[in-house]
Amino acid sequence: MRSLIAGCGGYLPEKVLRNDDLAAAYGIETSDAWITDRTGIRQRHVAAPGETASSMGAAAARQALERAGLPEAAVDCIIVATSTPDSAFPATAVRIQAELGCGPGFAFDIAAACTGFIYALGMADALLRTGQARCALVIGTEVYTRILDWTDRGTCVLFGDGAGAVVLTAGEGQGTATDRGILSTHLHSDGRFADILHIEGGAGSTGGTGLLRMSGREVFRHAVSKLAAVVDESLAAHGLAQSDVRWLVPHQANLRIIDAMGKKLGLPKERVVVTVDRHANTSAASIPLALADADGRGAIERGDLVLMEAIGGGLTWGAALVRF
């Protein structure tokens, strides 16, 4: 069995906060030039008061299902990657299940920060390959603007809100790298570095602000080495060369990291999907949003080999190889 990507969808809140607007609104000592030069970010979307991870995730899922040509009733599995759920429980996934009217089936959340979508994709692939599901929604949805310290210019300029989704359907293949579908996912974590990117406190904590904290230099250092290693690991698993990769769809955290990974693979810039300038870092939503962007403009063609990679709090990191 093979898990095929049948459709991609995305949702972005209507409100756009540009770099100069951000400095004026929150009195931060920063500028458009400072943010753009260091990150590549020019703007981010901000969820309206009534928007939540579940409402945005449902909107992205509807677009993905529409592009796949499938009804909500076909979905028997929903996996949501989010660090900003509607509540500690029930899972955001079951709220989306109810809003879409999917079922019967099952739904659950995964918390792996910015790597969450890769983790969720791996879980859904395993479920489809073993026959426990036939059609899965894999969703990344985040409202990071609600967990930011707006006095900390080292973090508040980096993140935005949004949701992305893919529809996976079960199909048959020959078990080779030429098959369409998910070839493999490669997942890693190292809890020794948990404190360099984390949220202070939580539902079961004895204290904390509930705000995001990050040691930017440390995260950047780990990102470069760990992403390079997991890219090599994923290609070696199938005897593929860097030149076989048609598209790189990376986690949209920092343009410098994205450019470094594109150069490592020898890809021209037009083969690297970049949305960080418009979306900022939307954590678990960034890769499916970038996929929806590329798919919506018809950039990715049938048979193209797509490499996705991400690193996030945990530390967690991973990669996925997919042939469309």
Residues involved in catalysis: 114, 251, 281
Q: How far, in Å, are 20, 21, 26, 96, 210 from residue 17 at the CA level? A: 8, 6, 11, 27, 22
**CB-based contacts of 216: which residues, under 8 Å, 6+ apart?**
154, 155
3-state class (DSSP) for residue 244: helix
Counts for the chain of helices (H) and strands (E), in that order: 10, 13
Pairing assessment for the beta strands 77-81 and 106-110 based on DSSP bridges: parallel
Pairing assessment for the beta strands 316-323 and 305-312 based on DSSP bridges: antiparallel
Burial letters 213-238, b for 16+ CB under 10 A, else e: bbeeeebeebbeebbeebbeebbeee
Burial tier of 141 (Cβ tally within 10 Å: 0-12, 13-18, 19+): buried
In the 8-state DSSP scheme, what is residue 55? Answer: H
Q: Decide if 19 contacts 36 (C-beta within 8 A).
A: yes
In the 8-state DSSP scheme, what is residue 251? Answer: -
Q: Decide if 128 contacts 5 (C-beta within 8 A).
A: no
β-bridge partners, 16: 45
Residue 140 φ/ψ, nearest 5 degrees: -115, 125
Q: How far apart are CA 27 and CA 11, in angstroms?
A: 29
Q: How far apart are CA 225 and CA 215, in angstroms?
A: 16
